[in-house]
Structure 1
Amino acid sequence: MSHRFARWAGCACALLALAGCGGPVRVDPPTPDPAAAAACGTLAGRLPATLDGAERVESDPASPYVAVWGAGEIALRCGVPRPVNMAPTDQVPVLDGVAWFSAPSLPTLFTSVGRAAYVEVTISRAHTPESVLMELAAPVKAALPQTG
């Protein structure tokens, strides 16, 4: 198991374990490059207060690159690296104009691809991924231009 896979899997498990706990939800913020950071800053201002019925909550540490809903049921990290397990030949589903990669080994982790920054979304089984990703499509499209 690669170190990166272990880190993503650990993050997903930690978020799911925190669902339902009070206070800020611990999510490690990414460190995007300057171009991605600017795009992520734009996205941060467009994210909804409620996502698939879950209210937005604080993250710890606070970061403009992280958004959390429902006490950790849904977590978004903007400016993450390209998914290492994504092959150039992978078919990536497109929902409302946004392509979302999901590795079969990580069924609750989705990463938008083909945009100015990669956006990673962890979704607990309490939510329907298609609903969450459809609700995120408009802010992602508005804030993150498509790349070549």
Structure 2
Amino acid sequence: MNIFRHRPLGLLAPALLAAAVSCSPARDSATVAVPTPDAKTAPLCRNLHKVLPRKVDGRTRADPEPRSVYTAGWGNPAIILRCGIVRPPKMVDPEVAQGKDPNAIGGGVDGVDWLMEKEGDGTWRFTTSGRLAYVQVTLPEKLSGPDDSAQVLTDLAPAVKKAVPKGIGSMR
């Protein structure tokens, strides 16, 4: 009888247990829906992921679950970034373009244009416009207004400008 033939199975259970413990998400980590960018947008999002800052608004990077090159996060509660999202409907809404929608306005920060939308729960969501990929940033409730977002968008602008060229994103 070959004793080595059975030994790896005995070692497999502790190894699986250790892997499960090390891969389980922390209780306080955010969970977000991962975008599924098209083939033209995906490389831009992967490049953005590589150049994102370690800190945003003084908050340390703490990526959400499930881990993806299309998402990033900072702090707890987290500032969440998603790259490769579908173009928001408000981006082509004539009311927004004419400044008649109080819950959605356009603006720019350090050379990056954003659609700023107030959500039903009072939080704010920002989506790049005029870029080849749509990048969305959602603020936690305690950063409740567009004025609170200035440092967040300032910190993210260099990475967005470097990784996502100007242009019109996918219409999907």
Structure 1 residues 42-61: aligned runs within 5 Å: 42-61=47-66
Q: Which of 125, 128, 146 is 1:109 aligned to?
A: 125
Structure 1 residues 1-148: aligned runs within 5 Å: 22-87=27-92, 89=94, 90=97, 92-105=106-119, 107-127=123-143, 128-147=148-167
Between stretches 120-129 and 36-45, larger displacement belongs to 120-129
Question: Residues of 1 paired with 2:41 and 2:88: CA distance?
Answer: 15
TM-score, normalised on structure 2?
Answer: 0.68
**Over residues 87-112 of structure 1, what are the superposed CA-to-partner deviations in whole Å (9 max), with x where a residue is unaligned?**
35426211111010013446510000
Larger Rg: 2
Structure 1: where are the runs of 5+ without partners? 1-20
Displacement after TM superposition at 1:145 (Å) = 0.4
Structure 2: where are the runs of 5+ without partners? 1-25, 100-105
User: Structure 1: which amino acid aligns with 2:84?
Assistant: G
User: Structure 1: which amino acid aligns with 2:126?
Assistant: F
Identity across aligned pairs (percent)? 38
- What is the count of residue pairs matched by the alignment? 128
**Over residues 119-140 of structure 1, what are the superposed CA-to-partner deviations in whole Å (9 max), with x where a residue is unaligned?**
0000124342111011111100
User: Structure 2: which amino acid aligns with 1:122?
Assistant: T
User: Would you tell me which structure has more strand in proportion to its own residues?
Assistant: 1
Displacement after TM superposition at 1:78 (Å) = 0.2
> Relative contact order, CA 8 A, sep 6+: which one is greater?
1
User: Structure 1: which amino acid aligns with 2:164?
Assistant: L
